[in-house]
Amino acid sequence: MKRDTITIDKLVRQAEAIVLEYFSGSASGKDTTGNTQLSNAIDVIVQSKSVEVFCNWLRYQMARERNERNENKRFWITQKGSRKTFGERVIDEVRRPSCASDVENITHFLGFLRRAYIAREYLKGQKEDSQ
């Protein structure tokens, strides 16, 4: 039982760190798109119960966004510097052994990612206060 708690705690910390890395600026018009896309991601993994189906769906979403003219509708392809896009980073995370071996862990991770995205202004303030 203690192992699950540690895993869950690690997933929460990973989700918060990734959101702060990619969405450290003030809340923007991407809020609605981001909330919806993260909810959709959770639905995909819950319904498919497959890492590969989820990654396929996410790559499809990123391809669609590349053709989107409205910047506020580009969520998964958000990029900081020369790093990977947000979507690519999420794919990397769900393929890590700590997630990929258990669809429930992926579901938890995506849920924590959504919560962190919604709370990013608060998390940013907490991070600044601790420095």
Number of domains in the chain: 1
**Dihedral, CA of residue 111, residue 114, residue 116 and residue 118, to nearest 10:** -140
Q: In this predicted model, what pLDDT tens digit does every residue of 85-120 receive, in sequence order?
A: 999 999 999 998 877 778 999 999 999 999 999 999
**Helix ranges (DSSP H) in 23-130:** 30-48, 51-66, 86-94, 97-100, 103-118, 120-130
DSSP code for 25: S
The mean pLDDT value for 62-81 works out to: 89
What does DSSP assign to residue 27? -
Q: Which of 123, 131, 129 is nearest to 21 (CA)?
A: 123
Q: Kindly report the pTM of this predicted structure.
A: 0.86
79 is in which domain, residue-wise? 2-130
